């Protein structure tokens, strides 16, 4: 079944969050240090992905076009508004809550990664769920750690993850009919590099170095396909 890996991913995030709730009472000083460690690790993951492609112009134009679209519809504000709505529903009166922050941060970390796209493509194209199973274990652990500092808002990130990966997996079952395999390989490389820079930005935000509106850059993961197509066409004309 094309959605097996997707479902397992969502379940692992749920389990990780539930386990993380047992450690939410640890001192704030320790939580701050843990969050710094998470931020540094996220930066490392982002940088390792960013070098997946040597077509810098494709990555740049993807980010620029994605930023224009993202700012135009203000995805960041909409995602934060959704997080705030969830927080209002579940926040206890008079108690400080980080439900919205946990939901938004976890959603971005779990969705942007290359493993989400490549794993979902493998599930849809070949029925191979290995990558998503591996991602599920990683996400479960990350969910556990994030929950210790941000609370149970992390669990709601399972919803966009399942919708996002599920959509890609179902789409992938038909992709072979119109997209050549060599173009698909190039797309995965450029999407990985673009996504890596977004993950790097998340790490900087976690360390409170920047306040980049990463959600408003998410359309770049879609526009990278169009930019790559134009790039390959121009290359073909020139040669």
Residue bearing tokens 């934060």: 80
Stretch 163-169: mean pLDDT: 88
Give helix 28-50 / helix 130-150 axis angle, nearest 10°.
Answer: 150
Judge contact between 37 and 204, C-beta under 8 A. Answer: no
Residues 6+ apart with CB under 8 A from 2: 123, 124, 127, 169, 170, 172, 173
Q: Work out the average pLDDT over 204-211.
A: 87
- Listing DSSP states for 61-84 in one string gives HHHHHHHHHHHHHTHHHHHHHHHH
* Beta-carbon contacts of residue 18 (< 8 Å; ≥ 6 apart): 155
154 vs 104: CA distance, rounded Å: 8
The packing angle between helices 181-206 and 28-50, to 10°, is 150
* pLDDT confidence tier of residue 113, bands split at 50, 70 and 90: low
What is the predicted pLDDT for the residue at 150?
81
What does the mean pLDDT of the chain come to?
83
What pLDDT score does 72 carry? Answer: 93
Crossing angle of helices 130-150 and 114-126, rounded to 10°: 150
Q: What is the CA radius of gyration of the chain?
A: 18
CA 31, CA 152: separation in Å to the nearest integer?
Answer: 15
**Which residue in this structure is represented by tokens 């982002």?**
46
Q: Which residue has the higher pLDDT, 56 or 192?
A: 56
The mean pLDDT of 6-25, rounded to a whole number, is 90
Three-state DSSP at 24 gives coil
What is the C-alpha separation between 156 and 104, in angstroms, rounded?
9
pTM: 0.76
Q: 94 pLDDT exceeds 60? A: no
CB 39, CB 31: distance < 8 Å:
no
**What pLDDT score was predicted for residue 67?**
94
- Domains of the chain, residue spans: 4-238
Mean pLDDT of 161-178: 81
pLDDT at residue number 26: 75
Q: How far apart are the first and last CA of the chain?
A: 43
């Amino acid at each position: 079944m094309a959605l097996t890996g997707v479902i397992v991913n969502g379940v692992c995030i749920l389990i990780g969050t539930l386990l993380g709730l047992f450690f939410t009472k640890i001192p704030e000083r320790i939580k701050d240090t843990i969050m710094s460690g998470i931020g540094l690790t996220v930066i490392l993951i982002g940088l390792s992905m960013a070098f997946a492609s040597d077509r810098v112009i494709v990555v740049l134009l993807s980010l620029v076009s994605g930023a224009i679209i993202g700012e135009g519809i203000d995805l960041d504000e909409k995602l934060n508004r959704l997080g705030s709505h969830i927080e209002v529903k579940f926040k206890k009166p008079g108690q400080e809550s980080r439900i919205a922050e946990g939901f938004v941060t976890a959603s971005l970390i779990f969705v942007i990664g290359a493993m989400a796209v490549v794993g979902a493509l493998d599930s849809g194209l070949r029925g191979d769920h290995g990558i998503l199973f591996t991602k599920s274990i990683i996400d479960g652990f990350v969910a556990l750690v994030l929950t210790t500092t941000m609370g149970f808002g992390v669990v709601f990130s399972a919803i966009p993850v399942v919708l996002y990966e599920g959509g890609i997996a179902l789409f992938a079952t038909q992709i072979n009919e119109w997209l050549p395999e060599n173009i698909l390989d190039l797309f995965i490389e450029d999407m990985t590099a673009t996504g890596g820079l977004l993950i790097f930005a998340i790490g900087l935000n976690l360390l409170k170095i920047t306040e980049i509106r990463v959600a408003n850059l998410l359309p770049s993961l879609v526009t990278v396909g169009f930019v790559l197509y134009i790039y390959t066409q121009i290359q073909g004309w020139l040669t």
